[in-house]
Amino acid sequence: MPNSDFSDAFFRRSASSRRRFLQLSAAAFSAVALSNCAPTSSENSDSADSAPASDKTLYLYTWGDYSSEAIYQQFQQQTGIKIVADVYDSNETMLAKLQAGGGDQYSLIYPSDYMVRQMIDSDLLLKLDPAKLEGFENVMDRWKNPVYDPQAAHSVPFNWGTTGLIYNSKLITAEPEDWNFLWENRKELSGKITLVDDVRETLGMVLKSIGHSYNSTDPAQIEAAYQKLLELKPDLAGFKTYGFEDQLIGGDLAVSMTYSALGNLLPVENSHLKYVIPKSGTSVWTDAMAIPAKAPDPDLAYAWINFILEPENAALAAQELKLSTPNKAAFELLPAEIKSKETLYPTAEMLKNGEGIQPVGKALDLYDKYWTEAKSA
């Protein structure tokens, strides 16, 4: 694993380019950035020269901020397998593509916890062969038998995190403590607020702000959340999972709902940005690695999963992407200042009101109905 000084220096150089990447289309990024992400033999280093020879390519479908050229190069140098990645900005986008026939395009995907359960129930995921997994013992105990995937039969955790608020401290001097900050200050911040473009996260957040579960199936509670979201809608700049970053940095936005992945990444180069975990509770999510049932080459997917399960590689990914690792051996390799960073590894007290997002059965139709109406209002 690179030492922390090297990792931090590399991250400072790469963070702004990763922000630019988030604004590219998935197709453009796949064609331009990843098809030749590792050195070829004509321009390689000594380490690349020693890579196993291979003409195989692993096709990934992943979250926008989980792609890293440095990690992909490390994988190719270690295995000889090339990487091509397409990206998505919500679980629902990923699911829709696979349901429309895209499941035979990718050998590995990154569904969130509740989506793992939903995809298992729809027979969209391959059951993993434990004999082909190397290093699963490194996973922390809480992920060895997760509620969304008993016995981790269909998925391996990649990272975990929270959903919260990132704000520009030049515009907001008193730190937001909870979700209700958005409603209490909506007039002063009108046009400078964004929420994530995700039905379960955003309606879940509103449910939490009025004292209900992220996973409510009560029609009256879901409607109440919809009505409260409508109160905030006129003061929103939009629903954006990605693409808000430069506006927040520059001051055109004041506060954005975001995942801790970006919440920890953006302040590295922009110290006036701060990420907070709301006190009333939020989603505590896991993003996993899984193999589609119709994957074109599952063996390449196993190669990637085993690569990530290696502690040194998991620690590299945690530092490079500013993510929280579920790999206990990798966690021990991290510098003390990272392990003690509460926005990456929150205390039990900070998470006591948190919830994992779970499938809501037939209530999902109601969520989708109100979500469509709220976005079009």
Averaged pLDDT, 252-262: 96
- Look up the pTM and report it: 0.81
Mean pLDDT, the chain, rounded, equals 87
198 labelled binding-site residue:
yes
201 labelled binding-site residue:
yes
Q: pLDDT-based confidence at 53, cuts 50/70/90?
A: low
CA 16-278-149 angle, 5° bins? 80
At 359 the pLDDT is 86
Rounded-to-integer distance, Cα 257 and Cα 116, Å: 23
What domains are there in the chain, each with its CATH number? 4-160+286-339 (3.40.190.10), 161-284+346-376 (3.40.190.10)
Q: pLDDT-based confidence at 23, cuts 50/70/90?
A: very low
275 labelled binding-site residue:
no
Check whether 44 has a pLDDT greater than 70. no
Rounded-to-integer distance, Cα 193 and Cα 177, Å: 16
Share of the chain above pLDDT 70, in %: 86
* Amino acid present at 260: S
At 7 the pLDDT is 32
CA 374-376-377 angle, 5° bins? 65
| Whole-Å CA distances, 67 to 84, 292, 356 | 10, 19, 24
Rounded-to-integer distance, Cα 183 and Cα 195, Å: 12
* Amino acid present at 132: K
pLDDT in tens, 120-163: 999 999 999 999 999 999 999 999 999 999 999 999 999 999 99
pLDDT in tens, 78-101: 999 999 999 998 899 999 999 998
114 labelled binding-site residue:
yes
The secondary structure of the chain in percent helix, strand, coil, rounded to multiples of 5, reads 45, 15, 35
